[in-house]
A = this chain, B = another copy of it.
Amino acid sequence: MTVEPASLDRLLAPRAIAVVGASPDAGKLAGRPLGYLRRYGFAGAVYAVNPKYGEIGGVLCVPTVDDLPDGIDLALLLVPAGGVAPALEACGRRGIPFAISIASGFTEAGAPELQEELVRICRRHGVRLVGPNCVGLLNPRQGVTATFSTELRRRMPRPGPLALVTQSGALGNSLLQSFNDLDIGLTSWISTGNEADLGVLDFVEHFIDDPDCRTIALFVEGLKDGHRLLPLARRARAEGKALVVLRAGRSDLGRAASASHTGKLAGSARVWRDVARQAGLVEIGTLDELLDLVLALDVLGPASGDAADGLGVLTISGGLGVLISDAAADHGLAIPGFDAGTRDGLRALLPPQMTVANPVDTALFTDERGYARCAELVLADPAVGTLLLVLTSLAHDYRALVPWLAELADGARARGKHVAVTFLSSSDLLERDDRRTLLEAGLLVLPSAERVVAALARRRRAAAAAAPPVEAAAPAHAAERTAAGFLARAGVPMVPEALCRTPEEALRFAGEVGFPVVLKVASPDIAHKTEVGGVAVGLADSAALEQAWRTIARSVAEKAPHARIDGMQVQAMVRDGVELIVGGSVDPELGRVLMLGAGGIWAEVLEDVAFLALPAGPQEIAEALRRLRIHPLLTGARGRARLDVDAAVAVMHRLADAFQVETWVDELDINPLIVRPEGLGAVAVDALVVTRSADNR
């Protein structure tokens, strides 16, 4: 299903478009696209298809798709659900490579069979389809308006470096409105609807190689082929492109039904959050946050990634300064101290009782001129990359400041710096024209200081260094599909253990590996042995072992009376080290993920875990380990021994590769994996391997 990236060029920049089902009535939905193409100067050829007309508004109209001339790149199908399949079939016959269907009445309306028919036609003819149930697409640079969006009645967005791809048509349309209000430039706008064929990630793949695109913003409710997200995001980051995702549906579904700890902990929100971090994409929670960030990227361009790019703040309220510092701390944005030159300059401008520090509080002690001088000083400070001004009519006639602000931003840009403007209260709002002037002059204008701080912080994250590329694991060869086989192939070192059928066998094995030992009930029907009293640890001698055998047998008989009991496992006891859990599960959206975290009894109690999409390299695994709260226990904190973290990472990496390729395994728990003191490696005590059909211990 993966397409060559270049292959969507003719969809987004078609040389000729056919509008199938076009209407001459501009008031009707089916009348709009032709009008838009004319109004916004599409330079290619346009044809209409409708048996009722010979021409529509000067455009040649043919009765059927079969009557179209050669060379059509894109067919926009405005026909209702029942007519889509025949029209698409006709496109295929005519060799038209791309089609868009806006009709509703498919999977979203409980008619998946109609949608599957479209997929079959696409496969048969090699036609690529956008939709159905979508609003179409837009390419302002080329005047391509393959959409019925009402917003085009108002205006066409200006060309710019942002590609927006949304599954929801209504939200796509509303974002288009907001983009026009804020004058945010667009390279393309696409509503993917039901994604019968082309999905959001196909467009991501395209825009990675589109030189006009610098930022890719997505609104998704559920990714199709989500396992492609990580490699695509890695490529986007390597190309220096920001990938921004607003995701709906963060609630944690389907956790409880899982047999493994890993499955239970793998809530969709948590996995997404971790994979977003791994992939270097910026996950966004609300429409406002998305708009603020794309506005910041549009107006300021991408962040330099320069560590010295700090925020300088000028307010008339010390209290607000502290609130802004709080917001900056929350969002991880630096508010640096000033150098001596800046401090001296400010001191000369402010009364002696005012403290001179970042954020600067001028109170009501400056007129417009003095305020401007303060701003220029802060902007010139070597540690300041962006200056934030909080304007208020309490202090200044800030409308009179607008021309100066535009100049200030101009000068700033020449030095690779920026200016952001916001307002103290809801009374302090700019007229629309003034705001546009400032935006056009390259100032970021947002309604509150907290939103400026959040947008700047996300802009920095969008420019964070790309993760190193990771080789995908080699496909698995035909192999024995047992838990033991899987663990052996993954090279997971297990503690010595033996299945014993009698206390005598247990005593013999314990004598061989040495006391103390652990005794555990062996049953295919008991996933969590502790819960049925099926485990005894620290058995120091023969007497303790015999006693424990009896106790476990009694407890299991009572608490799991119907379980098949195969005997008991006797295991050498590893007492030095820290217990981790390593697991694998299949996220319904993102595919196979590795989980690592605090293990043993702590696994589900602490929920101190991190997820990685696959493939994941050793560097990413080590980084995920460092994010765990229990990480200090691995590195010799509080007088403890330093542990063999390298060995643990190596085991996790082998498990990650094995879990990626051995797709017959659906869930996996290694719990605990004991990380032993440096030089002694890491060893697994228990493992659970779950397949869709059965549990294999």
Instruction: Tell me whether A629 is interfacial, beta carbon within 8 Å.
Output: yes
* Contact residues in B for A86 (Cβ distance below 8 Å): none
Question: B353 to A426, Cβ gap below 8 A?
Answer: no
- One digit per residue, 1 when the CB lies within 8 angstroms of any chain B CB and 0 when it does not, for chain A 621-648 equals 0000000011011000111100000000
A148-193 CB contacts (< 8 Å) to partner B: 150, 166-171, 173-175, 177-178, 180-182
Instruction: Tell me whether A363 is interfacial, beta carbon within 8 Å.
Output: yes
Question: A639 to B327, Cβ gap below 8 A?
Answer: no
A43-95 CB contacts (< 8 Å) to partner B: none
Question: B317 to A170, Cβ gap below 8 A?
Answer: yes
Task: Given the known inter-chain contacts A105-B353, A150-B394, A601-B638, please indicate yes or no for A168 contacting B320, CB distance below 8 A.
Answer: yes
* Contact residues in B for A318 (Cβ distance below 8 Å): 168, 170, 221
Instruction: Tell me whether A249 is interfacial, beta carbon within 8 Å.
Output: yes
Instruction: Tell me whether A572 is interfacial, beta carbon within 8 Å.
Output: no
Question: B288 to A450, Cβ gap below 8 A?
Answer: yes
Closest CB of chain B to A625's CB: distance in Å? 14
Task: Categorize the interface residue count of chain A.
Answer: 35 or more
What is the copy number of this chain in the assembly?
A: 2
Among candidates B182, B528, B638, residue contacting A530 with C-beta atoms closer than 8 Å: B638
Among candidates B173, B249, B394, residue contacting A322 with C-beta atoms closer than 8 Å: B249
Question: A629 to B601, Cβ gap below 8 A?
Answer: no
Question: A323 to B427, Cβ gap below 8 A?
Answer: no
Among candidates B219, B531, B639, residue contacting A638 with C-beta atoms closer than 8 Å: B531
Cα-based distance from A221 to B320 in the complex (angstroms) = 10
Question: B448 to A109, Cβ gap below 8 A?
Answer: no
A559-618 CB contacts (< 8 Å) to partner B: 601, 604-608
Task: Given the known inter-chain contacts A168-B319, A352-B109, A639-B530, please indicate yes or no for A250 contacting B425, CB distance below 8 A.
Answer: no
Among candidates B250, B287, B426, B607, residue contacting A448 with C-beta atoms closer than 8 Å: B287
Question: B286 to A639, Cβ gap below 8 A?
Answer: no
Closest CB of chain B to A252's CB: distance in Å? 9
A608 nearest in chain B by CB position: B606
Question: B287 to A181, Cβ gap below 8 A?
Answer: no
Instruction: Tell me whether A532 is interfacial, beta carbon within 8 Å.
Output: yes
Question: A425 to B394, Cβ gap below 8 A?
Answer: no
Closest CB of chain B to A526's CB: distance in Å? 11
A399-451 CB contacts (< 8 Å) to partner B: 424-428, 447-448, 450
Question: A248 to B353, Cβ gap below 8 A?
Answer: no
A29 nearest in chain B by CB position: B364
Instruction: Tell me whether A368 is interfacial, beta carbon within 8 Å.
Output: no
Question: A249 to B326, Cβ gap below 8 A?
Answer: yes
